[in-house]
Chain A
Amino acid sequence: MNNKATIVITDFSRKFWQTAINDLTLYSKMFIILEMDNKKVIQSPGKKEKMSGLVIEISGNNKLILAEQSSSNQENGRNISIIIDNYCKNICEIAIASHTNGGRLYIVDLPESKKYYYKEFHNESKEEEVWQKIAMCFSAIGKKKVLQNSEPFDLLWRCLAPKPSEVAHSLRSEILTPFIPFHLFHQLVNKDSSEWQNIFRECCVAIKNTEEKFIALKGLRKDISPDIKNCADEKFNELKKIFQKSENDCVKNIEKEDCLKTIEDFAQCLEKIVNCIESGEEASAKNK
């Protein structure tokens, strides 16, 4: 199971840091980050001066990281990158909640090896869902509950991570995008052969990497009708037949078969799956 980290960036008050440290002092899996500027400093609880962040290990090896915001975008990027490099080595997915005041945090400034989910929030605002969940985590820290019970952490994570429908849109785009250059290029009258081969090769590579994403997309909702799934499987297999041959065989095949139609049909099937996931989500939201 993937470990997760949630980073909350805001203008924490001195009082908050003091309370958090005092309440958690007995907890050994907590690290305080001091003076981050390009220095790697891990300090056990005790010193309270110049504090910039707090790393709390939640049950299941997940992490909740509280980091002091900076008024400069660059400094925010630099500080959070240091935290990620030092404390999130074995973590693939990181959700970040950043207070809108002061400097912003740009995902583009963070280490590329991770997957990020990012939301901004206004603190102390009752209308803000992200803030409500953060406040629950803060309250749990105060009562030491977050150490035994990961529920507040999970709620915050769910609020920051994309909904299944958003994951579905993104997966559909990842699955289909590699085949779109082929679809467009095939329609051109004058085809440059070297470019054509490059595009073709991309599709051959993509078809191998697509199956996992295709399975993930179908698995996002349990009640997708078997008809829709079967139709998508059928079209996916047709696409595999086109691109899983040797290059020469495949070029011959492309001339004979209606490849454009196969890509369009496959896109239609994925559209049905995405719609089903989205409609299901809308219906459950209405019922709540």
Chain B
Amino acid sequence: MPKTNEHRIYENNSILKQTLSKVIFSLKNITDRIIFINIMYSDGRSGNTPYPGMKYIMDLRGKHKNTTPVLFYGFENLERLKKKPEASILDSPAIEYIRIPFLINELSEKIQKISTWGIIRDGLDEQTRKKIALEKISTFKHDIINAARTIEIVFKLKRKGTAEIQKENWNIVRKSLFTPEAKNQINKNIILFENIKYAINELFPKSKIIKMKNNLSDAENIYTTLIKRFSEYSEQNKIKAISDAEATINLLNEIITTLEVK
């Protein structure tokens, strides 16, 4: 966490940032552990949201487990703001909001209020935590569906035809599965699964998490074998590749079913 006052202010307008820094520095009750952030602050990486500043803090608290107290500021009326689903983080611990333009003594009071928060274990309220978890799970589920669809191309080998046509199908499937994205698609999801563990833990019991993890690991092993089978064209390899694809897709479908419960 940066140590100077200026660096703890997240504001896109440079003059406002400098002025806020000066004002905050002039206050006697300031501690070095508060983040000041405009609800509209954007680092250009926040995706779809009307309040990128809030999204930034959601990530900071959810993903990076940073529990520094936060004072949001913005032009919006707090009551109206609180009614919006994107602003649920305002209910989280050690979070305050001040509406601009404000008087410096109002700011001082807010800082006083927020400074009284002790060490907090979890920086997000239940609703926000669940919302973030559901978003992550939705992306993960989507990726698993994509992986299963890509592997379905192997079923092209089931088609009947002359030896030449069958060999041609073999080469088409081989070409599709040998792109870097297709080769790594299950491994990529194993990494993603680890990265969103906090979201998975939030929504699923331990037994289901272990089952999903095992399914991913088994799917990766079978898929690696499937890819190896394409080193040489043979009738036997063709039959085994289809069987491997079916087994991999079944394992992925089980994960999708588990994820659909939420």
**A interface residues with partner B (beta carbon < 8 Å):** 11, 71, 100-102, 104, 106-109, 118-120, 122, 124-125, 162, 166, 169-170, 172-173, 176-181, 183-185, 187-190, 195, 198-199, 202, 260, 263-264, 267, 270-271, 275, 278
Residues of B within 8 A of A187 (CB): 23, 103-104
A169 adjacent to B76 (CB under 8 Å): yes
How many chain B residues touch A (CB < 8 A): the figure is: 33
Q: How far apart are B83's CB and chain A's nearest CB, in angstroms?
A: 10
B75 adjacent to A181 (CB under 8 Å): no
Q: Which residue of A lies closest to B143 (CB)?
A: A101
B15 adjacent to A198 (CB under 8 Å): yes
A101 interface neighbour in B16, B75, B142, Cβ under 8 Å: B142
- Nearest first, the 7 A-B pairs at minimum CB distance are A108-B44, A181-B19, A119-B48, A183-B101, A122-B142, A106-B45, A107-B44
Majority SS at the chain A contact face: helix
Bound: A116/B1 CA distance, A: 30
Residues of A within 8 A of B116 (CB): none
B19 interface neighbour in A104, A118, A166, A199, Cβ under 8 Å: A199
**B interface residues with partner A (beta carbon < 8 Å):** 13, 15-16, 18-20, 22-23, 26, 40, 43-45, 47-48, 50, 74-77, 80, 100-101, 103-104, 138-139, 142-143, 145-146, 180-181
Q: How far apart are A210's CB and chain B's nearest CB, in angstroms?
A: 14
Q: Which residue of B lies closest to A119 (CB)?
A: B48
B19 adjacent to A264 (CB under 8 Å): no
Bound: A176/B16 CA distance, A: 11
| 16 residue pairs bridging A and B, Cβ less than 8 Å apart | A11-B146, A101-B146, A109-B44, A119-B48, A169-B75, A184-B19, A185-B22, A187-B103, A188-B22, A188-B26, A198-B15, A202-B15, A264-B101, A267-B75, A267-B101, A278-B80
Residues of B within 8 A of A264 (CB): 101
Q: Which residue of B lies closest to A266 (CB)?
A: B101
Contact A173 to B142, CB < 8 A, known contacts A108-B45, A271-B77: no
Bound: A185/B104 CA distance, A: 10
